[in-house]
Structure 1
């Protein structure tokens, strides 16, 4: 049986891999799964998309597939991925789907399928969708049982729900000056408006929805944000926020134009929420900074570490009744709001923290426990997971303390190094962290040396 889905949904080049025929069959397969599970129920699925050029074409094909099976569809139009996850709960649907390729270049697109609670589809249900897709065993509704299609707005209720979760009065008192770059993506319809309604002074750039992503690559990393970093500093803003194409992640620039690593903004949220709730469970991945562990110790919290992947973190939050979750790339998950990374909710919470603390953004970052990180990657063909497993074997022989939750993580007294195969690219990533820059580089070199030993063998 063939495989379609990766860690969360499927992605590829639009009209090559992700064609209208492909989307139609996914819709029919997903609809058939829902019909089999609840044959007598009137079933509804909510669908949304990001701003990509191919999005409308693929959305209409996916909708046609669902309607043909007898599934009713709510078309929420262009909206951030977390807004569609929110819509599943808000409209009380039986599932959802998002047409997006997140931070990938404009020629890509993809499909994510959602449970009724907005969480990504369970693996066992994904497997059934794949079987139905390849066998083409689709349910066909009678002519008078074909699903109905309705259009509904989710942006307004999504913004209102976020506003209700933060201290708007505190924000309005401080009136933060925020510059936003929504990468011509789905966040363009939410973030500038949300911030203005919260009482911020807002300057927005690249906020015209455009699926060509003319201004920059939609991945909000330091390399792609050089121009934006200069804008934030030159405008003398309190801070800047940049999002990816589907607005599930937000990254921050301080008032001096410095790029802030994702796990530091995650740490700001963790610190505030542990203080507000007098402890709680934080769920994060094996690759996230140990700043989180230190903050949990300081504020009576606990930390659960998972494999890398926002879907894995979201599931663990649900299973263990977690307070907040996140990853090192800046994705923060607020499980009482949306069971997935939410860029807009992250910004609202950070703005609230900024307003209440009364300090500069750079000062808030300086107050966090001090850790230094270095990262590199190696392009490697072949069985990368087997290579990483061999690194673990050598490390064990050398009597190093290891954690193999996801890849090989070697733990030292004051830091760690993680050697991990990418799930989406032919590379092995090496992350190291320590209490000093010198130590972090030493640990990175230990990881590289062990990896080279395996590659030379």
Structure 2
């Protein structure tokens, strides 16, 4: 990737050294120039939304200035989940969409995610072109003036259209289910409880009082303790945890036990296969999915296509091969027939619909997947790529593969953001996983 765009847009400390209003203005301007240059005979349209961070207001003003300076009319839709922004980009037939969010990151951070027409994530080459314009010191172009400057309007009813879309995508009634939903004081604080209630569930809400500073603060999909306690206190059937922009969800069952993204993906894959709606009887997952997930899918006659870590790579594989379902262990799940990106609310609806239609508890549904014990070592190194490719490391990995045989696996990969090499081992017992992982991690640490 380039200097600005990571695996999920531009992200950093808001108003810090990098993610400044000046940068946001240039990103908006460059995005409009690249994505609307083929528009003829009409004014281009951009849709912009944000999560609940205080810095979102500042960055929104800057991005809007950049977009309008490039001649794009801007529709502000307010605080909405990332998948809602992607949906509304297509709904309004807009030329691009911009979401201001840092997802599960703490409040001081923020980010800029750009969607192309139709609500699709940008290909790498388009991001690179936008980035080149942003970083160019020699960029000279003819700016619109007068009536050609973009105009700004507000459409704060977009959440209703998004909610209607979700309830059309999953029409199964949830009557009789009691759910606790943790909205992470984030973008789904209004729309998630409303959607689940409209679907028929009894809803208890926590983490839904965004004040600009409390997003993801001890709540949401990265902090499940409050959700577990609330499920037990309210004798709920399950709990749903979203992150700050609600593009993912995790769950807990009635006993407060976590149901992770692998289990959710497995439950949804089996449901779709039984309905004859799982394209090619294949589900897409990343290399981080537990080996138990692969075993479970094999038992149900479902193939697993594997990608690199990152929901963008899951999406690329889904679209390239015509598959319909994919996701990550972190709770990003993509139903490509109904969404162009991971959608935590749609995932939660599908999960609860499976409970309602089968009259089975979430614990029973989740038991389809037997996780193999896993050990993960993050090894600090001077050069992550060189260390990961070193011959002694490769030999240590081969020895580990022989030792594990068909009963386990080892995954070694450089971090995408830090000077770390991650060593992950799965084995029949935690003791074996930890022993094998430490052997390989020690070799990585000794590599110079």
Task: State if a TM-score over 0.5 links the two structures.
Answer: yes
Once the two structures are overlaid, the 10-residue window that deviates more, 145-154 or 391-400, is 391-400
Deviation at 1:35, TM superposition (A): 4.1
Deviation of 1:265 (Å): 1.6
Q: Deviations over 1:244-267 (max 9, x none)?
A: 110111111111112222211221
Question: Could you list the runs of 5+ residues in structure 2 that have no partner in the other structure?
Answer: none
Q: Which runs of structure 2 are paired with 1:128-147 in the superposition (5 Å)?
A: 128-135=129-136, 136-147=139-150
Instruction: Name the CA distance, whole Å, in 2 between partners of 1:144 and 1:260.
Output: 54
Deviation at 1:70, TM superposition (A): 0.5
Deviations 1:116-173 (A, max 9, x none): 132221111111111111224454112110112222232111111111122433x22x
Q: Tell me the distance in 2 between the aligned counterparts of 1:178 and 1:46.
A: 32
Contact 2:293 2:371 in 1 (8 A): no
Change in CA separation of 1:31 and 1:373 when aligned onto 2, cut-off 3 Å: same
Please identify runs of 4+ aligned residues in structure 1 that moved more than 6 A. Answer: none
Q: SS state of the match for residue 187, structure 1?
A: coil
Structure 1: state its 5+ residue gaps.
402-409
Question: What does residue 106 of structure 2 align with?
Answer: 105
1:241 aligns with 240
Q: Is 1:253 paired with 2:252?
A: yes
Q: Which moved more, 1:146-155 or 1:186-195?
A: 146-155
Is residue 151 of structure 1 aligned with residue 154 of structure 2? Answer: yes
Structure 2 distance, partners of 1:215, 1:316, is: 30
Q: Distance in 2 between matches of 1:166 and 1:392?
A: 48
- Report the number of matched residues: 440
CA contact (8 A) 1:13 1:107 kept: yes
State the alpha-carbon separation in 1 of the partners of residues 28 and 432 from structure 2: 51
Confirm or deny that 1:432 pairs with 2:414.
no
Match of 1:454 in 2: 444
> Contact between 2:379 and 2:420, CA under 8 Å: does it hold in 1?
yes
1:266 is aligned to 2:270:
no
Q: How does 1:373-388 map to 2 (within 5 A)?
A: 373-388=373-388
Q: Deviations over 1:340-388 (max 9, x none)?
A: 111000000001011112122212222x142223243325142212222
Work out whether residues 417 and 444 of structure 1, in 8 Å CA contact, stay in contact via their aligned partners in 2. Answer: no
Residue 239 of structure 1: how far off its partner (Å): 0.7
Query: SS of the residue aligned with 2:232?
Result: helix
Query: CA-to-partner distance for each residue in 1:262-294, whole Å, 9 max, x for gaps?
Result: 211221111111221265221111111234433
Query: In terms of mean alpha carbon deviation, does 340-349 or 390-399 score higher?
Result: 390-399
For residues 369 and 15 of structure 1, what CA distance do their matches in structure 2 show? 44
Q: Kindly indicate whether residue 413 of structure 2 is the aligned counterpart of residue 420 of structure 1.
A: yes
Structure-2 change in CA distance of 1:94 and 1:413 (3 Å): same
Q: Distance in 1 between matches of 2:34 and 2:216?
A: 40
Distance change (3 Å), C-alpha of 1:110 and 1:30? same
Report the secondary structure of 1:277's partner residue. Answer: coil
Separation of aligned partners in 1, 2:196 and 2:183: 13
After superposition, the Cα gap between the structure-2 partners of 1:100 and 1:218, relative to the gap in structure 1 and judged at 3 Å, is: farther
In the TM superposition, residue 311 of structure 1 has moved relative to its aligned partner by: 0.7
Does structure 1 conserve the Cα–Cα contact (< 8 Å) formed by 2:54 and 2:213? yes
CA contact (8 A) 2:314 2:326 kept: yes
Alignment pair present for 1:220 and 2:221: yes
1:161-198 Cα offsets, whole Å, 9 max, x none, are 111122433x22xx200011111100112111111001
Of 387-396 and 45-54, more deviation after overlay is shown by 387-396
**Structure 2 residue aligned with 1:404:** none
Classify the secondary structure of the residue corresponding to 1:70: coil
The Cα of 1:230 is off from its aligned counterpart by 1.5
Deviations for 1:84-120, whole angstroms, at most 9, x for unmatched residues?
A: 1111221111111110011111011110111113222
Q: Would the alpha carbon gap of residues 145 and 450 (structure 1) be closer, same or farther in structure 2, given more than 3 Å must change?
A: same
The alignment yields a C-alpha RMSD, in angstroms, of 2.2
Question: Secondary structure at the residue paired with 1:412?
Answer: helix
Instruction: Find the aligned partners of 1:396 and 1:228 in 2 and give their Cα distance.
Output: 39
After superposition, the C-alpha distances for 1:295-353 in whole angstroms (9 at most, x for unaligned) are 44333332211100001111111111112000011111111122211100000000101
CA–CA separation in structure 1 for the residues paired with 2:28 and 2:133: 11
- Provide the secondary structure at the position in 2 that maps to 1:455: helix
Counterpart of 1:365 in structure 2 is: 366
Using the alignment, how far apart are the partners of 2:80 and 2:140 within structure 1?
31
